[in-house]
């Protein structure tokens, strides 16, 4: 669905009773609410369950280079929206010299795992592990051992929601996001536009709207068990065991 900041702001102000149907939002209100909207979107970027954009991208390794930066500002690997919030499983090393290309899983390390790596400058033609530090404005991807051969990596990343550049630029959003933005903006703006008699309703509407998109973005993990002496995985969605 295509929306712009002004349509979201107008709907939020009408929920607050600040603007009546058919009235034009004042320049003062629109400027203030645009700032509130973008600050709210910024806070959503820190909450994985409200980020809908998860994509797969392939990036070319620079031999003997550590770390590889990823993001929008002069990075080794460019992302148009912003540096990823996190890198998800699976992450793979793509052997581009083979036909067809072969993909090998990379072990994703957390902060403790990366800290436990004894010789971080160890080199090899084939890295086996990946650690991601979501620095700003560009993130830092550490491959270990440091690769000496040019291949590629294929990353599944959770990306940032784009802020609204102005009032009139249109943005395409998935179903449910316009309502979540409108209701949450109205809730956020209640401090500037107090409406005591509407507060409980607006808070509940915002909570319900965010719950809808959160439920879509949150995936249930696979459950592990042991059957017949061997490990298997129970797939929640299919209701069956995966060998």
What does the pLDDT look like over 124-147, one tens digit per residue? 999 999 999 999 889 999 999 999
pLDDT at 234: 56
Helix (H, G, I), strand (E, B) or coil at 56: strand
What does the pLDDT look like over 41-59, one tens digit per residue? 888 877 766 666 667 899 9
Indicate the length of the chain as a whole number: 243
Tell the residue number behind the tokens 């509940």, with chain if given: 204
What does the pLDDT look like over 4-41, one tens digit per residue? 999 999 999 999 999 888 889 999 999 999 999 999 98
What does the pLDDT look like over 182-235, one tens digit per residue? 999 999 999 999 888 899 999 999 999 999 888 765 554 544 455 555 555 555
Q: Please provide the DSSP assignment of 139-182 as one string.
A: EEEEEESEE-S--EEEEEEEPPPPPP-SSS--EE--TTHHHHHH
pTM of the model: 0.62
Give the up-direction half-sphere exposure of residue 131: CA atoms within 13 A in the CB hemisphere: 17
Please list the residues that pair with 152 across neighbouring strands.
60, 94
């Amino acid at each position: 669905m295509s929306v712009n900041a002004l349509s979201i702001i107008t709907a939020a102000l009408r929920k607050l009773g600040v603007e009546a149907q058919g009235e034009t939002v004042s320049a003062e209100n629109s400027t203030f609410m645009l700032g509130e909207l973008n600050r709210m979107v910024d806070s959503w970027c820190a909450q994985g369950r409200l980020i809908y954009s998860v994509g797969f991208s392939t990036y070319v390794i620079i031999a003997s280079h550590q770390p590889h930066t990823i993001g929008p500002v002069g990075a080794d690997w460019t992302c148009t929206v912003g540096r990823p919030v996190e890198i998800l499983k699976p992450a793979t090393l793509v052997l581009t010299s083979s036909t067809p290309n072969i993909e090998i899983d990379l072990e994703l390390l957390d902060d403790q795992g990366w800290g436990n790596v004894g010789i971080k400058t160890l080199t090899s033609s084939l890295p086996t592990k990946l650690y991601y530090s979501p620095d700003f404005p560009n993130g830092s991807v550490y491959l270990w051992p440091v690769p000496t051969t040019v291949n590629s990596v294929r990353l599944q990343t959770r990306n940032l929601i784009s802020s609204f550049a102005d009032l009139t630029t249109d943005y395409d959003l998935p179903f449910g996001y316009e309502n979540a933005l409108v209701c949450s903006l109205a809730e956020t703006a209640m401090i500037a536009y107090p409406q005591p008699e509407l507060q409980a309703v607006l808070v509940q509407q915002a909570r319900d709207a965010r719950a809808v998109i959160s439920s879509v973005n949150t995936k249930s993990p696979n459950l592990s068990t042991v059957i017949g002496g061997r490990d298997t995985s129970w797939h929640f969605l299919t209701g069956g065991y995966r060998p």
